[in-house]
Amino acid sequence: MTRSRYSGVVRKIGVIFITLFGLLTMTFVIGRLMPIDPVLAVIGPDADSSTYQQVFEQMGLDRPIWVQYFYYLQAMLSGDFGRAILTGSPVVDDILRVLPATIELASIAIMVGVGLGVPLGVYAATHRGRLGDHLTRVITLFGYSTPVFWVGMVGLIIFYAWLNWAGAAGRIGFAYDGMFTSYTGFYLVDTLLSGNLEAFFSALRHIALPALILGLNSVSFIGRMTRSFMLEQLSQEYIKTARVKGLSERSVIWKHAFKNIRVQLLTIVALAYGGLLEGAVLIETVFAWPGFGQYLTDSLLMGDMNAVMASVLFIGLVFVFLNLLSDVLYKLFDPRTQ
C-alpha cells in the first residue's frame, strides 16, 4: 500500500514536470517563430543597423535556437526570467506586482459563480422540464455564449455612464490612490485594515461590475454542471428509497443528492477559478484593470517574450496547483478515493 502510494506520488510529480516542460518549450518555440522582432521591441524602429546588430548579439539571437533555449532554461532554473521590455523591471517582480489585482477580481467572481450557479443548478434539476428549468437553462446559455468584452462595454454604458453606480477605470478612485497602506495588495482588504471606509467603498464600486460580469460566465458553467450532476443523482435508487421512507424533499435534495456531488463540484470550481485567473484578459482590458491579464496583453503587443513566457508558465503552475488542491479535497470529502 505504501509502495503504491509512493509510486503514485512519483508519477504525479513526473506528469507535472513533463507538463510544465512541454508548456515552456512550446511557448519558447512559438515565441521565436512569431512575426515580431524582439530587437525592434527594445531599440525601436528608428535605430541604425549597427545598434540593431549589437543588441541582436547581446540578446543571444545569433545563436541556434536550441542553444538559446538551453541558456533560457539555465537562467530560469536560477530564478532569472529576464527583464520586461515594458517596465524594465524583472519579470517576476512585475508578475508579483500585478497578480493581487487579478486574484482579488477572480476571487469575487468565483464567489458569485458558486453563490448563484450552485443554487440555480440544483433548482433546475429539481424542476426538470418545468418553466423554472427552462428559464435557468436560457440564463446559463446566455451567460456562457455572450462575449465577455461586449457585456463589459454594455455594463459600462449602463451602470457607469447612465446610472453612475459603478466606478470608472482602475481599481480605486484617483482621490484615494495612495491614501491607505498596502498590506496584502488586495484593495478591499487593505482599505479595511487601514480603517479608510471611504476608500473601501470606492474600491468596492470599481470592482463590483467587472467581478459580476466575469462571474456571469462562471455562473453559467457551474450552474449547468451542477444541474447535470444533480439529475444523475436524483435518478438513483437511494433517492427513491429516501423518499419512500418519508424524508422531506429538502433533506433528500441537500443531505443526500447534493452531498454526493460535492466532490465533482470541487473540480469544476477549481477549473472555473483557474479559468478566471487566465481569462480575465478581456475584462481587464475593458475596465483598464491593472492586473495580470492586462500585463500579459501589453507584453504580447510589445513582443516581450520574457514576460509572455513567464506568464504562460505561471498560468500552467496555477492549473497544476488547482488540480493538486482538488485531489487533496477529493480525499478529504471522499475517503474512498485514497
pLDDT in tens, 140-183: 888 778 888 888 889 888 988 898 888 877 899 888 888 888 89
Cα–Cα distance between 268 and 274 in angstroms, integer? 10
DSSP 144: H
Res. 71 pLDDT band, cuts 50 70 90: confident
Res. 317 pLDDT band, cuts 50 70 90: confident
Domain 95-302 annotated CATH 3.30.300.30 = no
Look-up: residue for cell 427552462?
A: 134
Q: Is the pLDDT of residue 2 over 70?
A: no
Distances (CA, A) of 53 to 41, 57, 60, 199, 302: 14, 6, 11, 50, 20
Domain(s) labelled CATH 1.10.3720.10 in the chain stretch across 95-302
Question: What percentage of residues in the chain have a pLDDT greater than 70?
Answer: 94
Q: Is the pLDDT of residue 1 over 60?
A: no
pTM of the shown model: 0.84
- DSSP, collapsed to helix, strand or coil, labels residue 83 as strand
DSSP 159: I
Res. 191 pLDDT band, cuts 50 70 90: very high
pLDDT in tens, 223-277: 999 999 999 998 888 888 888 888 888 888 988 889 888 888 888 888 888 888 7
Res. 336 pLDDT band, cuts 50 70 90: low
Cα–Cα distance between 191 and 188 in angstroms, integer? 6
